Amino acid sequence: MTIKIFSLVLFVVSALVMPKCLSSNTLDNNVELSLTPLACFVKRIGDVCHLTIKVNWQSVAPIKACLYQNGEKMHCWSDTRKATKKIMISLSENMQFILQGDNNEIYAQRQVTISASTSKRYRRRLRADWSLF
């Protein structure tokens, strides 16, 4: 009898926890945020990357929200369930984007990363200086 109760409690707890674990870009409020692209490629680390990101978000209920880039307000929407916006940005390091409400409630967040095509270290020479050819 106790095994049946334990397995029933375990099932109920897993059913409540599992949907929250599966949604990686949503928080407790059923708002989904997607940014494309999520990566920017530069020649060297420290170079500035200029790109246009496409912001998509949707919510179960209409919300009033603003998109922030590292604390700076980029764009706001009011009483909307879904929105799409293209925004020009310039990045020199990884950047956090947050969809936040009026009461400072964070609805969702995503990060755009910067990758370099060459490393910080110098490239190794492919042939020696003393080559005859």
Provide the CATH number for the domain around residue 43. 2.60.40.2470
Q: What percent of the chain has pLDDT over 70?
A: 67
- Structural domain contains residue 111: yes
In a domain, 62, yes or no: yes
Domain with 63, as residue range(s), is: 25-116
Indicate whether 61 belongs to any domain: yes
Domain count for the chain, please give it.
1
Residue 9 lies in a domain: no
* 35 in any annotated domain: yes
Stated as kind and residue range, the H or E segment containing 67 is strand 49-69
In a domain, 123, yes or no: no
Taking the model in full, what pTM does it have? Answer: 0.65
CB 94 within 8 A of CB 122: no
Residue 42's pLDDT band, with cuts at 50, 70 and 90, is confident
Q: Is residue 104 part of a domain?
A: yes
